Amino acid sequence: MELKGKTALVTGGASGLGRATAERLHAAGMNILILDREGSDGAKVAAALGSNAAFEASDVTSAELVKKAVDAAVSRFGGLHAAINCAGVGTAARTLSKTGPMDLDLFKHVITVNLVGTFNVCRLASEAISRNTPNADGERGVLINTASIAAFDGQIGQVAYAASKGGIVSMALPMARDLMKNGIRVCTIAPGIFDTPMLALLPDEARKALGESVPFPARLGNPAEYALLAEHILQNPMLNGEVIRLDGALRMAPK
């Protein structure tokens, strides 16, 4: 897909992987609609990008709010051509601990935000994308979802997070098949350990140890590297129905 002049919706675009993606795609000539929570830095990020960027306060689990954001992208920029899902939450809780079974509401919350929220954005964005005029390959747009290597190598305490990300992995191929007649490609990126705001809360020694656990390069991933892959997926028409690990060959131990 030719990026210049096209429009991308980026969830979680106020920080971390989403912000890096919004910035890179904007630099490539795309219009950007950042979708993030009320009270996030989304408005500041959009203002810094300039006139071809906007912010919509939203909740990925809300049908009404996401539909409003999709409609805003179409109204402001004349269409929607890509949705990149970077919004998500994490948790650390064992199935059974000394205090008893995991809180079921905690498990439901992680699944709802990460898995249901991702699907909600995909289903609504795909409707708008399907209205585009196809290019010479018949392509109308692209969906990119964010899983995690926890989907494959979930650690102790990651049962809810791994389940949510495993669901995102499993959606890639059937969703690509669902949308092939609409000319919409679907890919999933499964990052390893990246230098995001969540990891910024850890002490420097802990961050250093995590980086050194990566085989090569032995460091935390840079959100700009995620953004680089997202840009390539948008531009490469043969990437479809694929889950791509972006982890420096890391395979996580049980803990």
Q: Which of the residues are catalytic?
A: 161
CA distance 150 to 192: 8
- DSSP characters over 1-32: ---TT-EEEEETTTSHHHHHHHHHHHHTT-EE
Q: Pairing between strand 53-57 and 31-36?
A: parallel
SS3 of 198, please? helix
Whose tokens are 């409707």? That residue is 127
Give the whole-angstrom CA distance, residue 160 versus residue 148. Answer: 12
For residues 214 and 208, the answer to whether their CB atoms sit within 8 Å is no
Token readout for 75 is: 């109204």
Are 112 and 53 in contact by the 8 Å Cβ rule? The answer is: no
**Residue burial 193-202, b: 16+ Cβ < 10 Å; e: rest:** bbbbeebeee
Cα torsion angle, 46, 79, 129, 125, sign:
positive
CA–CA distance, 93 with 100 (Å, rounded to integer)? 11
Helices (H) and strands (E) in the chain, counts: 10, 9
